Structure 1
């Protein structure tokens, strides 16, 4: 580096598409009860078909569909009731032509039946005789033995975080442990002579408590990672390089908070360059331009990605949400991160922007209207007052009041 210019500046889209380190976390087996939001290493296949037997989806009567054709309230079909199916037990009777069997929801379909007529469309006109007032087609009111999942088919896909219904399907298939990627260990290093721990009771003039590290740790947890607070390093190249060397031994991703702005006291780029290759130093984004992306060497042989964030808390969190969170998911074996909740809205006022950069604007949302929240990037309260953010694309020169926007909501 020389002077105060950014080098290797990239767009956010280029960063997301091009900065794709090969590192992945190790694999481990976890109990199903602990598998929510974990990322399976590969597809989990069904050992047998589910539900495993044809069963009723309604309370009613198992029938041969052909015996109900033409049935109506004015001209019902009459069927002989030959028995009943009990829950959790195999049928002891079969359905013969002109007959039917009483069925509970979830009961095993007896031999000879190909449909279940709902009880609401029947009446018992006399003991042992059922009146059917609506016809059914084959497979009405039932699920096939393999309709949920066929034997050998994937229960859940690899590379996608497990959701609550996934856990239910795995449980139904008898899967009690899942092989998943370990949670990425994300080391968070804060830098700056002025930065002190949050526990500091009395600040001296010029000192600031380290707020960014705690907020970054929350974003890491949301992305399924394990944050490791690696402490505060003064503005000293040797101290930072030594801390980075120690941290790289155990981390899957290193995040350096502050020190990435190009300036007289910027030591981050030099320390990182001594340990690996800088992919870019500068993103076409506001806030957050002075962002550094790199891949550092590690003793294990697999490169460790590193993100150097701007010093201002708001800028650091905006960039990490856009670039760092997808990287955490990728390290955990999930190439496409889960979508964040969003809502459509209309912009309350004109929003200026400069072409050639991505503008991330914090907004409050009420009654379908998105109102921008402005403030210096050093103020965390801008984020805490926001319901979410919207993005003004690089090509735009601003958005007019009333423009439709999509707001990414904060959880």
Structure 2
């Protein structure tokens, strides 16, 4: 037990963990259709196979013209052009625009040859059959998009290493790209430990037993980060059993998470079991809640040992584990969580040199919302379940005063 306590002298800050614990492992590449590509991480830049949209087209309903024929036009002194024909949607123009002429075009239609602008129909009138009155001048390029304005052939449509958003899927579809090479979803094995821990479906608890709530919550965080949670059996507080379970999990996972496995209690065997399988990078983070966190590399597979208390475990996994899941899928910079600016509802005390993560309820009001801190033992999931988000008291601070305007990171 004394050896486990000494490991806390290797405690790192959360910033050091994010910057320094960077396993090289990446998931393999697979090809998926656009229907399955949302939030997946491209393994390579996806480039435009051809110019987009591929032809100059109108962005308004109106008349394709030569811009020079409209110069000086006004309500009091309009310009007049002859109607040479019309363009139908989805077909190539059968007429061109010459000096002093125009062609009727709907939004999205192909721009006819000779035209370099489109006058909105609102700025025109047909004064007599075949003659169009223009009451506002247009510059070359007005009312249209060029053939390569969305993208030139070979341009990067979406960059590697960034999760695909819905709009990007539409962009790829417009380019005719129907499948993408992406990183496979990281397989995250969640190993729960403890003689007192029983499956959530246990109808009646014996004295001292607790249902495994943390594993279900961790699985949700893994899915949110684009990973695939893999539940392992609950392991008793036995060094041999834990080492065997971890060895099996490491053989089939990209990341192993040990839930309730790195407290400093007398029966904690996690550090010893992990040390037998790999190299411990740190055992202790300067964060509250969540100090007894273990990070290790086991033959190229990262392992995170979380504190036993559910609130602590979930807070730490959100700070350190979620970025790891994204990194394994090739995303170096995880998409940011939603935030809101708010004023602190009461004073917050803190110890310098430690990152404090405080759960808050957000009360929306004018001019800015109020963040009301929620307190309770880290063994209580109710604190996290009631919270709308959290605020961070940085390491150098000794606390924050009520009324301080700060950023609340919202829970999804």
* TM-score with structure 2 setting the length: 0.98
- 2:4 touches 2:271 (CA, 8 Å); kept in 1? no
- Distance in structure 1 (CA, Å) of the matches to 2:71 and 2:391: 57
* CA distance in structure 2 between the partners assigned to 1:57 and 1:377 by the alignment: 57
SS of aligned partner of 1:244:
helix
* Alpha-carbon offset, residue 266 of structure 1: 1.2
Q: Distance in 2 between matches of 1:364 and 1:79?
A: 65
> Contact 2:42/2:163 (CA < 8 Å) preserved in 1?
yes
Aligned equivalents of 1:351 and 1:238: distance in 2?
Answer: 43
Residue 327 (structure 1) aligned with residue 324 (structure 2): yes
Instruction: Report the counterpart of residue 125 of structure 1 in structure 2.
Output: 127
Structure 1 residue runs without a partner (length 5+): 298-302
- Once residues 3 and 408 of structure 1 are traced to their aligned partners in structure 2, the CA distance between those partners, rounded to angstroms, is 33
Residue 3 (structure 1) shift: 5.7
8 Å contact kept, 1:293–1:306: yes
Partners of 1:101 and 1:3 lie apart in 2 by 82
Quote how far apart the aligned CAs of 1:100 are.
0.5
Q: Secondary structure at the match of 1:231?
A: coil
Matches within 5 A, 1:278-293: 278-293=280-295
In structure 1, C-alpha distance between the alignment counterparts of 2:64 and 2:205, rounded to whole Å: 78
Shift of 1:7: 3.4
Stretches (4+) displaced over 6 A = none
Give the distance between the partners of 2:4 and 2:96, measured in 1 at CA. Answer: 88
CA RMSD of aligned residues (A): 0.8
Q: Find the counterpart in structure 2 of residue 300 from structure 1.
A: none
The match for 2:305 is: 308
Q: TM-score, normalised by structure 1?
A: 0.98
1:134 CA displacement: 0.6
1:8-407 paired onto structure 2 within 5 Å: 8-297=10-299, 303-367=300-364, 368-407=369-408
For residue 202 of structure 1, report the CA deviation from its aligned partner. 0.8
Q: Is residue 259–residue 265 contact of structure 1 (8 Å, CA) maintained in 2?
A: no
Query: For residues 314 and 400 of structure 2, what CA distance do their matches in structure 1 show?
Result: 24
Moved more, 369-378 or 256-265: 256-265
Query: Which stretch has the larger CA shift, 253-262 or 215-224?
Result: 253-262
2: CA distance between counterparts of 1:4 and 1:114?
76
Residues 215, 270 of structure 1: alpha-carbon distance in 2 compared, 3 angstrom cutoff: same
Task: Work out the CA distance in 1 between the residues paired with 2:53 and 2:261.
Answer: 57
Structure 2: segments with no counterpart, 5+ residues: none
**In 2, Cα distance between equivalents of 1:235 and 1:43:** 47
CA deviations over 1:190-241 (Å, ceiling 9, x no partner): 0011101111111111110000000000000000000000121000111000
Superimposed CA distance per residue, residues 338-388 of structure 1 (whole angstroms, 9 cap, x where no aligned partner): 011111001111111111010001001112111111111001010110101
The partner residue of 1:7 within 2, 6, 9 is 9
1:272-316 CA-to-partner distances (Å, cap 9, x unmatched) read 00000000000000000000000002xxxxx00000000000000
Between the aligned partners of 2:385 and 2:170, the Cα distance in structure 1 is 35
Residue 90 of structure 1 and its aligned partner are, at CA, apart by 0.5
TM superposition shift of 1:263 = 2.8
CA distance in 2, matches of 1:2, 1:58: 74
Distance in structure 2 (CA, Å) of the matches to 1:139 and 1:19: 52
